[in-house]
Amino acid sequence: MSPAIEVLLSLLVVAGAAFTFIGSLGLARLPDFYTRLHGPTKATTVGVGCLLVASSVAFSASGDGLSLKEVLISMFLFITAPISAHLLAKAALHQCLPSVAPGPDPRPGDGPA
């Protein structure tokens, strides 16, 4: 493995892990449910995306051809993260969880999921 690729890999791995950590930090320290929702949906998804790109580069560099399976799982995470965030936000509104922000008013009615 050439030094340039190793530096790139190290940067990707550390950046991805740092984003993942920041996402969970947001989950642990932010004040209400709606703000907590932001950490995992954005930072963690992109963090894992970085790690998957790193894995793709690592396996492609170590021989036997291009490794593209990682693209699949990153795509899957990028498609599903907003859906689970949206559903959880809906569930929280449904349960009338308290929020730091002034509540949504007038509230749109329950639509289909």
Give the footprint of other proteins on residues 38-67 (CB under 8 A). 38-48, 51-52, 54-55, 58-59, 62, 67
Total residues binding other proteins (CB under 8 A): 89
Least distance from C-beta 77 to other proteins, angstroms? 6
Given candidates 2, 4, 22, 60, which one binds other proteins under the rule CB under 8 A?
A: 22
Query: Distances from the Cα of 69 to the Cαs of 41, 46, 56, 75, 106, in angstroms?
Result: 22, 17, 8, 10, 46
Q: Do 42 and 27 touch, CB atoms closer than 8 A?
A: no
- Which residues, 74 to 103, sit near other proteins by CB under 8 A? 76-95, 97, 99-103
Q: Do 50 and 19 touch, CB atoms closer than 8 A?
A: yes
Is residue 113 at the binding interface for other proteins, with CB under 8 A as the rule?
yes
**Residues 53/57/62/63 CA torsion (nearest 10 deg):** 110
Least distance from C-beta 69 to other proteins, angstroms? 5
Least distance from C-beta 63 to other proteins, angstroms? 10
Element (H, E) at 103: none
